[in-house]
C-alpha cells in the first residue's frame, strides 16, 4: 500500500531533524542504481541539514553538492518531486556542541562547483577529500572534519552509505 502523502514520514520526524544531521538518498534513477551497484551500499547520495536558529527555526534546509554545485534548498521542496527513499542519520547527542560549527563549515562551500572528476575516480578507487570542488559525501565529510567533529579516522572521502561507521551518528531511519 502506498502512502497518500509521500511527505508524511518526513513531517512526523521533521521537528527532530537538526543542523549537522545527514540525509542519505536512494534515488530511483539510472545514475542512482549505478552508484549503488559500484559502491555496494543501499544509498547513492548524501546531504546535510542546516536550520537557522536566529531567524527561521521552522524551515529545514538541505545543503548538498549536485550538478549545479554546492547549494542549500528547502528540504520539503527537494522531497516534493523526489523518487526513491531517504534516510536520516541523526548526530548523537554527545556531539550537539558541534552543530553550529558544522553549519558554518558547510555553508562556506556554497557556490563551489561539483567535482565530476573525483566522482568518476570514486567509482574505481578512493579519493582524498579536498575543498576546491565537491561530490556529495565529500562535502558532508569535510564540513564535519573542519568543524572538529571527532570521527573515526579516515584518509579518504567516504562514499554515501559509509557515514554510519564514523561513530558520530545514530542508526539510520527512513523518513521518505
At 147-171, the pLDDT tens digits run 999 998 777 889 999 999 999 999 9
Phi and psi of 16, rounded to 5°?
A: -100, -10
Question: Does residue 166 fall inside a structural domain?
Answer: no
pLDDT tens figures, 12-62: 999 999 999 999 999 999 999 998 998 999 999 999 999 987 677 789 999
8 A C-beta contact, residue 79 and residue 8: no
Place of cell 549505478: 34
Question: Does residue 169 fall inside a structural domain?
Answer: no
Question: Does residue 85 fall inside a structural domain?
Answer: yes
- For residue 103, the SS3 value is helix
Reported confidence tier of residue 124, pLDDT bands at 50, 70, 90: low
Helix then strand then coil, in percent of the chain rounded to 5, is 35, 25, 40
| Number of CB atoms found within 10 A of residue 103's CB | 23
> What is the mean predicted confidence (pLDDT) over 112-140?
80
| Number of CB atoms found within 10 A of residue 142's CB | 19
> What is the mean predicted confidence (pLDDT) over 125-144?
84
CATH number of the domain at 20, please.
3.90.1720.10
Please list, in sequence order, all residues whose beta carbon lies within 8 angstroms of the beta carbon of residue 99, skipping any fewer than 6 positions away.
18, 19, 20, 91
pLDDT of 4 strictly over 70: no
Question: Does residue 2 fall inside a structural domain?
Answer: no
pLDDT of 1 strictly over 80: no
Residue percentage of the chain with pLDDT more than 90: 71
First to last CA, the chain: 15
pLDDT of 122 strictly over 90: no
Q: Looking at 59-165, list the stretches that DSSP marks H as alpha helix, in order from N- to C-terminal side.
A: 75-80, 99-107, 116-122, 136-146
pLDDT of 121 strictly over 80: no
Question: Does residue 1 fall inside a structural domain?
Answer: no
Query: In terms of residue numbers, what domain contains 87?
Result: 8-159
Place of cell 543542523: 19
Reported confidence tier of residue 123, pLDDT bands at 50, 70, 90: low
8 A C-beta contact, residue 62 and residue 22: no
CA distance 103 to 87: 20
Domain count, the chain: 1
Amino acid at each position: 500500500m502506498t502512502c497518500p502523502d509521500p511527505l508524511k514520514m518526513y513531517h512526523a520526524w521533521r521537528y527532530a531533524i537538526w543542523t549537522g544531521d545527514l540525509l542519505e538518498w536512494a534515488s530511483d534513477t539510472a545514475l542512482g542504481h549505478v552508484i549503488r551497484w559500484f559502491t555496494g551500499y543501499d544509498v547513492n547520495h548524501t546531504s546535510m541539514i542546516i536550520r537557522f536558529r536566529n531567524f527561521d527555526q521552522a524551515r529545514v534546509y538541505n545543503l548538498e553538492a549536485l550538478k549545479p554545485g554546492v547549494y542549500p534548498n528547502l528540504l520539503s521542496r527537494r522531497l516534493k518531486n523526489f523518487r526513491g527513499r531517504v534516510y536520516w542519520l541523526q548526530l548523537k547527542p554527545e556531539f550537539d556542541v558541534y552543530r553550529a560549527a558544522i553549519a558554518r563549515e558547510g555553508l562556506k562551500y556554497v557556490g563551489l562547483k561539483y567535482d565530476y572528476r573525483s566522482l568518476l575516480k570514486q567509482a574505481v578507487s578512493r579519493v582524498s577529500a579536498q575543498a576546491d570542488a565537491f561530490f556529495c559525501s565529500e562535502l558532508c565529510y569535510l564540513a564535519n572534519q573542519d568543524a572538529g567533529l571527532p570521527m573515526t579516522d579516515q584518509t579518504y572521502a567516504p562514499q554515501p552509505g559509509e557515514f554510519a561507521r564514523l561513530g558520530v551518528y545514530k542508526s539510520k531511519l527512513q523518513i521518505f
